[in-house]
Structure 1
Amino acid sequence: MTPDTTLLVIAKEPVPGRVKTRLTPPYTPEEAAELAAAALADTLDTVRAAPAYRRVLVLDGQPGPWLPSGIDVVPQGAGGLDERLAAAFAACTGPALLVGMDTPQITPSLLAPALAPDAWRDGDAWFGPAVDGGFWALGLATPRPELLRGVPMSRPDTGARQRARLVGAGLRVRDLPLLRDVDTATDADLVAAAAPGSRFAAALTRLTAASGSAAGGGR
């Protein structure tokens, strides 16, 4: 059966000073950008391996060497994050599942319930909560941008408010597992441990080793 769900990834170009600023310190802006690029590459690898009608990177910035083939790129819309998320869904003509670039531990099997042929049979929305109170995934059987506009983002209650908005609109919401976003250095360590074979884990190991070597050489 041909998949009918569009898989969206919303992301920033991994430019030093513009991404993962909460990782600085202990990491430099260049190191934080390297970690962001690894996380994005892991995410896009998963997207390529997952069944989807179309795979779209909704990007703030320009594509780079981390972009694999098979991914369409469209620019993010203007406004706050709620408006940009809404615009991403508005551009879809059928079911859509959106994920971010901050959960490099995602796998095709983790996304499978929301991308299965019967994914929308018993629900109208999919919701993936994040440990920090936000959400890492949001799926809608029918694109309804108004369900995102006005939801306050980057707050401890963002996820609860977004899910409540879906339920309040009469949607049957099905949940994906709770995951941790990479925001802080502690998050980075925990996510790398959860996905030891990822590019993200390899990048973190490399940076940590380099930092340790530099510190040792300075003594």
Structure 2
Amino acid sequence: MTADLLVIAKEPVPGRVKTRLTPVHTPERAAELAAAALADTLAAVAATPAGARTLALAGRPGPWLPDGFTVLPQRGDGLDERLAHAFDDAYRGRPLVLVGMDTPQVTPALLGEATAALADHDAVFGPATDGGFWLLGLRVPDPALLLGVPMSRDDTGRRQLARLAGLRVATLPALTDVDTPADAAEVARAAPHTRFAAALNGVPA
């Protein structure tokens, strides 16, 4: 059974996204970098075989959205609620893999590895180098696996994995989330051909 892919993201509006990139970058510049990261992520998802592709979006779609995505509004207050609702809203009876917009270095190969893992695992987990996670795949989503997990902390990944105890979990390579200017520089160096790297380095699109 082919898995579905799900992206959870914010509309890249100045002052509302990538605020930790300021003051090194202006809010407008931070939003440009967020838009580039989101475009890279969506392009990787679009290039990965999937049963369906969904974007759970806080805000409105923009020119960065490619064809082939169903757009659903995010629901909930905290990130744990928004993740749980996104899984619930996008679930169509097939395994479901969720990624955020903070890892523009993600590739179709990595996403394909995640979807393939759900053929014989209950979950797949992509740890982030800051202690969080950049990907979570579930063969059968269950809100109880996410609700109440403290998010945006250095122990978020460990706590999320603890919720998956008893399930067969496959693990992917760790990736760096783009949160700080140092993160942005690291990711751009690691993935120099991305839209994100071009935007950070001032290369015209």
Which TM-score band applies after superposition, normalised by the shorter structure?
over 0.9
Q: Distance in 2 between matches of 1:112 and 1:90?
A: 22
Please tell me whether Structure 1 or Structure 2 has the larger radius of gyration of its CA atoms. 1
Deviation, structure 1 residue 4? 2.5
> What does residue 200 of structure 1 align with?
196
> What does residue 94 of structure 1 align with?
94
Q: Distance in 2 between matches of 1:65 and 1:89?
A: 25
CA deviation vs aligned residue, 1:69-100 (integer Å, no higher than 9, x gap): 11111000021100000001112032100000
> What does residue 115 of structure 1 align with?
115
The reply on whether 1:12 has 2:26 as its aligned counterpart is: no
Number of residue pairs matched by the alignment? 202
Q: Distance in 2 between matches of 1:36 and 1:113?
A: 25
CA deviation vs aligned residue, 1:18-52 (integer Å, no higher than 9, x gap): 00000001000000000000000000000000011
Matches within 5 A, 1:34-73: 34-73=32-71
- 8 Å CA contact 2:3–2:118 kept in 1: the answer is no
- 8 Å CA contact 1:11–1:101 kept in 2: the answer is yes
- 8 Å CA contact 1:94–1:143 kept in 2: the answer is no
Matches within 5 A, 1:1-219: 4-91=2-89, 92=91, 93-116=93-116, 119-167=117-165, 170-206=166-202
Runs of 5+ consecutive residues of structure 1 not aligned to the other structure? 210-219
Q: Distance in 2 between matches of 1:4 and 1:35?
A: 32
Structure 1 runs of 4+ with >6 Å offset:
none
Q: Distance in 2 between matches of 1:25 and 1:57?
A: 29
Structure 1 length normalisation: TM-score?
Answer: 0.90
SS in 2 for 1:7: strand
SS in 1 for 2:197: helix
Structure 2 length normalisation: TM-score?
Answer: 0.96
